[in-house]
Every structure is written in structure tokens, then in C-alpha cells.
Amino acid sequence: MKYLLTGDEAIARGAYEAGVHFASAYPGTPSTEILENLATYDEICAEWAPNEKVALESAIGASIAGGRAMASMKHVGLNVAADPFFTFAYTGVNGGTVIISADEPGQHSAQNEQDNRNYAKSAKVPMFEPANSQECRDMVIEGYRISEEYDCPVMIRMTTRVCHGKSIVECGERVEVPVREYKKDVKKYVCVPANAKGLRRNLELKLAKLKKYSESTPFNVEEFNTSKVGIIASGPCYHYAKEVFGEDASYLKLGFSFPMPDEKIREFCKKVEKIYIIEENDPYIEERVRYLGFSCHGKDLLPKYGEMTPDVIKKGFFGEETKTIQYDDTTVVDRPPTLCAGCPHRGFFYEVGKRKNVMVSGDIGCYSLGFAKPYNAIDLLLCMGGGFSIGHGAQKVFNMAKDNKMRVVSVLGDSTFLHSGVNSLMDVVYNNSNTISVILDNRITGMTGHQENPGTGYNAKGQEANMIDIEGIVKAMGIKHIRTIDPNNINEVKTVLDDFLALDEPSVIITKWPCALKKFSKEDKEQFAGAFTKSMTVNTDKCIGCKICMKSGCPAISFDAENKKAVIDGIQCVGCGVCSQLCPKDAIEWKEA
């Protein structure tokens, strides 16, 4: 049966057909939809883990117990999971295991552009690179086969365009694979040095066999058209290259790129006059080709970063750009992403952004938008869970100055707190920091499109689950100053900031209000009854056109320049009430139902 699937959907489909028993992931663009799709299959135990390391570790356990397992994550997630990843290469598997890394050339929604093919090479984990959705499905199925045949975890390196690109996939049926027998084997699974040294030696033997596989697999395939130009490419770059060169070049498509098929590369390179390497991110293939003694063109002509789409290839190799319409676009205005109407982060950022001598340490999530106008609140942002700990280090150094006035307010979300922020908060309290740590609890994993987490009370399949009490965790750490507030109440935000900035010890603010786009659970309906059911309007008799309400940065408010009045779009407004508290003339009123 043929379906039009995204790469993420095809990975999930492949895993289903391959008889996968267990899957775990932490949401992260562009990998999120893999687990969302896996969760729709009754046959698969599919779970959200609190972070990527935990996801991979659960998958490892599932494999050792004999099940076929999958862990999926975005590229930076593999940094978090790197510790078990490297040693899992040593133990190998019992049930086949496939690990998905979704890389982001071009940084469509990520903080960096790292090339995770280097992880496969460094950890000595065999790797596939699908170019389209069909290959996503096929490589997952083949991945499980070789994982069990060669006793190794297998990595699939995807990129944004593969994850979110749709193409036609010929699918099959699920083949049930019985859970393998578990046998205690300490030499294989207990990685104390005495055992791990043997496993390290054994890994080289496995890699030698995998090298032979790399030479013979049909996923490393040559298409010979001409001896003039030979292109070596992996992932979607293969399609981009064919779009540009068509039949005017020969191709060596590397679908299995660790270990590399050195002999196939040599044979191909000998047949062609010029060798072009087209790949995204690092010169991973190019370095190998040069190591094998062939000179080639790659990163000398193409950019070292970004996507290698056909226009980029044309410019790099021919210096030409496709003819485009020459027109006046100087009047076009940027359209940056914004906090949604009703976003519970708005009130907090409005208030904290006004403070002088405050550094706001940020984190990964929708609230990262607090750096932007009109809030100008956040000072820094690097990685998941780093908000509290980076803020802690900064405060320690600020405090070294005589008469220091600088205070740090650190922010992160509920899902990010449970991901790894919880460790950062331990650092704050253990090393007695006077930072103010703020958990922006919007009751869901927001940025990636509403995935459940250990704090929401539901699991990946939408079934009821234990709901972790965030305030209880904070209390258990021994933090004495904790206040849970409604962030839509500006006075409450102001008062708690004043109170906690006066302290010289750790404090935690929990702003608790659901995401305006969240589908309310029955608990939400009880706890936040009436939320987002009304909207507000501007009383034009009272409005003096001062524009103070616009400092809330709400997309539902605009300014009618002709009449010099603020206007609220009643369709977008969900009645959080933040703007009405800013208005000096009380001109923003509840709309009559």
C-alpha cells in the first residue's frame, strides 16, 4: 500500500513493520512526530521520557531484555544521550535497537547546527542516512536486521527536510518478532573496565564486519552516467545534486555512511575525471575521500553551513543563480514569531523586562521569545535545562564585586525543568545562590506542539499517568522561599519579584497557568475554570491612544493610527487580561457575551 508520508511518519511506520516493542523519546523539532506516530500503534509501548538520555537508557534496557527498541531525538538531544550512546556501542544489543538523530542543517528551529555523523564515527555506531521517506521506512527495517546480525545499535541520521518532507512510501505489514530470550551475561553487559576492555577489542571485529556490509549493501549505490563528473552525496543532498546535474554526472549515493565503503569509493573515484562531494554540515565524506588519496571539490566551493539545496549547489559549482523576478521588496516587514495571544509567559516577561540591574538567564522553549521586543527581558540562552545553572554561575561572579547590584533571574518551563533543570536547581540550592529561579509552568511541552510530560498527568498514549508535583520537588530540595503565582496577575508578579529580590538566599517562583493553545485536561478544567472563555475590548471613549497596552506584545492588539485608538481583535483575544492591567485609563473591558 502506498502512502504519502513525512520522514518522521515513515520512520514510525518502518519501526511498526519491523515489529518494534518499545520506543522512547523526548520531543524536539524535527524529531517529535516520530514518537507521536509510534504512540498510535497498540502493538508498541511508546513513551515520552523526561529527557533524551533517559529515553535512550530505557531503550537500552528494553533491548537487553530482548525487545526491539527505538530512541529518537533531535541532534542536540544526542549530546544529552551521548553518555549511554558511546558505551552501548560496546555492549551491543539483545533485541535490535535503532537510534534516530534528527539534525538541523540551516537551523530552522535549533540553537546550533552540529553534524551528528561525527557521533556515529566517534562512538563507532553504524549509521544510515535516508534521502527520502521511502528510505526512512526501508532503513529502519534494515537497521533492525543488521543491529541483531552484527550485535550493535544502529543510528539513523535524518535532517529537517527528510523529517518534515513528504514523499510516497510503499508500505508493508507488521511482522511480529518474538522477544528474544534474556540470558545473564556480565561480560557483555557489565561495563567495568575488566569487561569493557574486551568489549572494546570486540567492537573492532564488529566494525570490520560492518565495513564489509558497507561495501555490499544496496544502500550504497553507484549510478554511472558519464566519466566527466562523479558526485558523492548522502541524505537529501543526493536528490539536490540530481536536480542540478541530472544525467550529466555519475553518482555514488551513500545511504550507509559509517563505516564508509572505502572500496566502492575508490572504484567510483577512479572512473571519473572530477569528483564533487555534496553533503550538509561538516566535510564528513570529503575528508574520507581525501584520506583515500583522491582530490575532490566540496567545501572549497560550497558553504560550510546551511542546507545544500539546488540553488546553493548551482551557485557553488557554476557561480550562477536562477533568474528571479527583480522587484521592490523594501516595504516588506519581518514576521518574527511571537508569544501567542493569551500566552501565560506574557505577564511575567512584561514585568521582569522592566527591571534594572537584572540579568535574565533563559532556556529552550516558547519563553525564549522573551528576549525579543517589546519585552527585551532575556539576556542569554544556550541549552535545555541550562537556565538555572548558567544563572547560578553568573550570580556567583556578580557577587564578587563590591556593592554588587546585579541580580540574576533564571527562567525555564515545566518540561525543561523536568528534563534537566531539576539538576540545575540542586546546584542553586546546594551552593547557596541568591538567584531567583522561575519555573514557567504552562502545563504542557509547548514549543514542540503540545506533548505530555511527567508533570501533565498523561502519557504519550493519552492515558492517565502520575502527575509529578513540581512545587513538591522544589520543597524537597530544601528551598525555603517558594511561591506559586498566576502570571496573568501583574501585581502578583511584581510583588513576588520585589520580595525575592530582597532575599539573600535561593528562591523559586512557579508561574502556573496553561498554554492558551492547550486542549484542557479534566484537571485543567477544574483548576483553571473559566480560563480563555472570554475576550476583551477597547472602550474607545476612554482610550487616549497612549499605546501602553501594546507593550504587552500581544498579537491581538493593534493600533488604529487614523483614530489614535488601540484595537483588540476579538477572534484572537482569549481574555488573559494582562493588557487591561497596563491601561492607565481602565479602557480595556470585558466584552459582553
Partner 1 sequence: MTKSVLLVGVGGQGTILAGKLLTQGLMEAGYDVKMSEIHGMSQRGGSVSSHVRYGEKVESSTIEPGQADMLVSFEKMEALRELKYLKPDGIAVVNEHEMPSMPILTGDAVYPKNAIEEIQKHVKTTVLNATKMALELGNAKAANIILLGTIIKAMKLESIDWESIIKKQVKPAFVELNLKALQCGMNAVE
What is the Rg, in whole angstroms, of the alpha carbon atoms belonging to the chain? 27
| String marking each residue 397-436 x if it binds partner 1 according to CB under 8 A | ----------------------------------------
**Shortest Å distance, C-beta 444 to partner 1:** 12
Dist CA 277 CA 3 (whole Å) = 32
| String marking each residue 520-539 x if it binds partner 1 according to CB under 8 A | --------------------
What residues numbered 31-70 form the site for partner 1, per CB under 8 A?
Answer: none
| String marking each residue 298-317 x if it binds partner 1 according to CB under 8 A | ---------x-xxx--x---
What residues numbered 193-232 form the site for partner 1, per CB under 8 A?
Answer: none
Applying CB under 8 A, among 467, 479, 550, 582 the residue interacting with partner 1 is: 550
The answer to whether residue 108 forms part of the interface with partner 1 (CB under 8 A) is yes
Applying CB under 8 A, among 95, 506, 514, 553 the residue interacting with partner 1 is: 553
Rounded to 5°, angle at Cα 74 from 72 and 80: 85
- Grid look-up 558526485 returns 231
Dist CA 420 CA 52 (whole Å) = 10
Query: Which of the stretches 171-179, 234-242, 432-440, 500-508 binds partner 1 when contact is defined by CB under 8 A?
Result: 234-242
* C-beta closer to partner 1: residue 212 or 547: 547
The answer to whether residue 324 forms part of the interface with partner 1 (CB under 8 A) is yes
The answer to whether residue 75 forms part of the interface with partner 1 (CB under 8 A) is no
Applying CB under 8 A, among 273, 320, 328, 592 the residue interacting with partner 1 is: 328
What residues numbered 256-285 form the site for partner 1, per CB under 8 A?
Answer: none
Query: Which of the stretches 170-178, 227-235, 534-542, 549-557 binds partner 1 when contact is defined by CB under 8 A?
Result: 549-557
**Shortest Å distance, C-beta 248 to partner 1:** 13
Q: How many CA atoms lie within 13 Å of 261's alpha carbon, on the beta-carbon side?
A: 26
Residues 6+ apart with CB under 8 A from 378: 349, 360, 361, 362, 367, 368, 370, 371, 411
Dist CA 88 CA 65 (whole Å) = 14
CB 469 within 8 A of CB 417: no
- Grid look-up 531503550 returns 59
The answer to whether residue 322 forms part of the interface with partner 1 (CB under 8 A) is yes
Torsion of CA 565, 376, 509, 535, to 10 degrees: 20
**Shortest Å distance, C-beta 340 to partner 1:** 6
> Per-residue b/e over 271-289, b at no fewer than 16 CB within 10 Å?
ebeebbbbbbbbbbbbebb
- Grid look-up 506584545 returns 553
The answer to whether residue 547 forms part of the interface with partner 1 (CB under 8 A) is yes
The answer to whether residue 354 forms part of the interface with partner 1 (CB under 8 A) is no
| String marking each residue 127-166 x if it binds partner 1 according to CB under 8 A | -----x---------------------------xx--xxx
**Shortest Å distance, C-beta 333 to partner 1:** 4
Dist CA 482 CA 158 (whole Å) = 42
**Shortest Å distance, C-beta 170 to partner 1:** 12
The answer to whether residue 323 forms part of the interface with partner 1 (CB under 8 A) is yes
Dist CA 256 CA 139 (whole Å) = 9
Q: Where are the alpha helices (DSSP H) in 39-104?
A: 52-64, 75-80, 82-91
**Shortest Å distance, C-beta 447 to partner 1:** 8
* C-beta closer to partner 1: residue 373 or 585: 373
- Measure Cα distances from 193 to 40, 151, 153 in Å: 41, 20, 21
Task: Count CB-CB contacts under 10 A for residue 361.
Answer: 28
**Shortest Å distance, C-beta 109 to partner 1:** 3
CB 92 within 8 A of CB 152: yes
* C-beta closer to partner 1: residue 161 or 407: 161
The answer to whether residue 177 forms part of the interface with partner 1 (CB under 8 A) is no
* C-beta closer to partner 1: residue 304 or 547: 547
The answer to whether residue 30 forms part of the interface with partner 1 (CB under 8 A) is yes
Dist CA 390 CA 370 (whole Å) = 17
Dist CA 345 CA 552 (whole Å) = 11
**Shortest Å distance, C-beta 231 to partner 1:** 13
How many residues touch partner 1 under the rule CB under 8 A: the total is: 56
470-474: Cβ within 8 A, 24+ apart: 470/414, 470/417, 470/418, 470/439, 470/441, 470/510, 471/510, 473/422, 474/425, 474/439, 474/508, 474/510
Applying CB under 8 A, among 186, 332, 476, 529 the residue interacting with partner 1 is: 332
> Per-residue b/e over 473-510, b at no fewer than 16 CB within 10 Å?
bbeeeebeebeebbbbbbebbbebbeebeeeeebbbbb
Using CB under 8 A as the criterion, which residues of the chain lie in contact with partner 1 when the complex forms?
A: 2, 4, 29-30, 108-109, 132, 160-161, 164-168, 236, 239-240, 242-243, 307, 309-311, 314, 321-325, 327-329, 331-340, 366, 369, 373-374, 449, 517, 547, 550, 553, 555, 557-559, 561
